[in-house]
Amino acid sequence: MPRPEAEKRTALTLGQKKERGERIAAVTAYDFPTARLADEAGIDLILVGDSLGMVLQGHANTLTVTLEQMVYHSGLVSRAEPAALVVSDLPYGSYHGSVERAVESACRCVKDGGAEAVKLEGGRKRFRAIEAILDAEVPVLAHLGLTPQSVHALGGFKVQGKLREKAREIHRDALELEKLGVFAVVLESVPQELARRISADLRIPTIGIGAGSGCDGQILVFQDLVGFTGLYLPKFVRRYADTRAMWLDALRRYAGDVRAGSFPNDAESYHLGRDIDEFLK
């Protein structure tokens, strides 16, 4: 159930937040309990990110994630009925090559996954797909800068826009995306000066990750911010908790109690309240 006091966030109301000078707090979630937590914390936008390929599935990149998996995880998140806007990431290969495939993929996330918008990566190469998805009445969150699905083409997970030509391209693409009608743009791993300039030049919000404080909102991967991955963390991640250590301690104590025979105790077990030999006769 959505929190009764919380106003439902939509692609439109997130734009109004920028007009009022309010920042947008966004986070990823891949499941029901995380979505509920995020909602209780007052998060504005929940992204069912294809980062789940790395964070949940243990792959080295996001390229193996399938549309079926995104629809499944979107369903887990949308079942929490959060006040936050639920956005599904379109995975690699689900919007490339054919506009029809892009629309079909976006509609699946909405119809079967309960998503309220989709995110897809890339600038001008994706304009046709974005236009077609918007035409199918699905709000689109764009994603520029370091686009992880282009990891091989980019030669790795590298900061983008440090060279003038690339910075101009990202800036131009952002302006064009606004004209196309996307409701916001994620800026990932770009120099903060570039992100600040783009944010000033756009009416729609920018949502930064590794793009400095000049964006209109920020997004982090939930497991990174609560310290649950044992994986490498980029320098832009602020870890707000070390829950991995807490869970590890709990698991070790549980295993120890089981081996010592101290879990479960009598109070943690069901009772027949009668003599078992008599009872089984």
With respect to ligand KIV, which residue has the nearer C-beta, 42 or 234?
234
Residue ranges of E strands in the chain: 24-28, 45-48, 85-89, 117-121, 140-145, 184-188, 206-209, 217-220
Shortest distance in whole angstroms from residue 251 CB to ligand KIV: 26
- By the 10 Å C-beta count (0-12 exposed, 13-18 middle, 19+ buried), 163 is classed as exposed
9, 36, 46, 49: residue in contact with ligand KIV (rule CB under 6 A): 49
Contact status, residue 201 vs residue 185, Cβ threshold 8 Å: no
CA distance 207 to 199: 9
With respect to ligand KIV, which residue has the nearer C-beta, 59 or 252?
59
Shortest distance in whole angstroms from residue 157 CB to ligand KIV: 11
Q: Centre a 10 Å sphere on the Cβ of residue 93 and count the other Cβ atoms it contains.
A: 15
Largest CA distance in the chain: 87
Please give the residues from 59 up to 98 whose contact with ligand KIV meets the rule CB under 6 A. 89
With respect to ligand KIV, which residue has the nearer C-beta, 173 or 188?
188
Beta bridge partners of 141: 119, 184
Shortest distance in whole angstroms from residue 277 CB to ligand KIV: 59
Contact between 50 and ligand KIV per CB under 6 A:
yes
Strands 184-188 and 206-209: parallel
Shortest distance in whole angstroms from residue 194 CB to ligand KIV: 17
Q: Of 118, 119, 107, 109, give the one whose Cα is nearest residue 72.
A: 109
Catalytic residue, candidates 188, 193, 268, 278: 188
**By beta-carbon distance, which residue lies closest to ligand KIV?**
49
- Decide if 137 is catalytic: no
70, 184, 186, 194: residue in contact with ligand KIV (rule CB under 6 A): 186
Please give the residues from 195 up to 224 whose contact with ligand KIV meets the rule CB under 6 A. 209, 219, 221
> Judged by CB under 6 A, how many residues of this single chain contact ligand KIV?
11
Contact status, residue 156 vs residue 132, Cβ threshold 8 Å: no
Q: Of 33, 107, 118, give the one whose Cα is nearest residue 77.
A: 33
Shortest distance in whole angstroms from residue 210 CB to ligand KIV: 9
47, 106, 117, 190: residue in contact with ligand KIV (rule CB under 6 A): 47
With respect to ligand KIV, which residue has the nearer C-beta, 49 or 139?
49
Which positions are catalytic? 188
Q: Which residues bind ligand KIV (CB under 6 A)?
A: 28, 47, 49-51, 89, 186, 188, 209, 219, 221
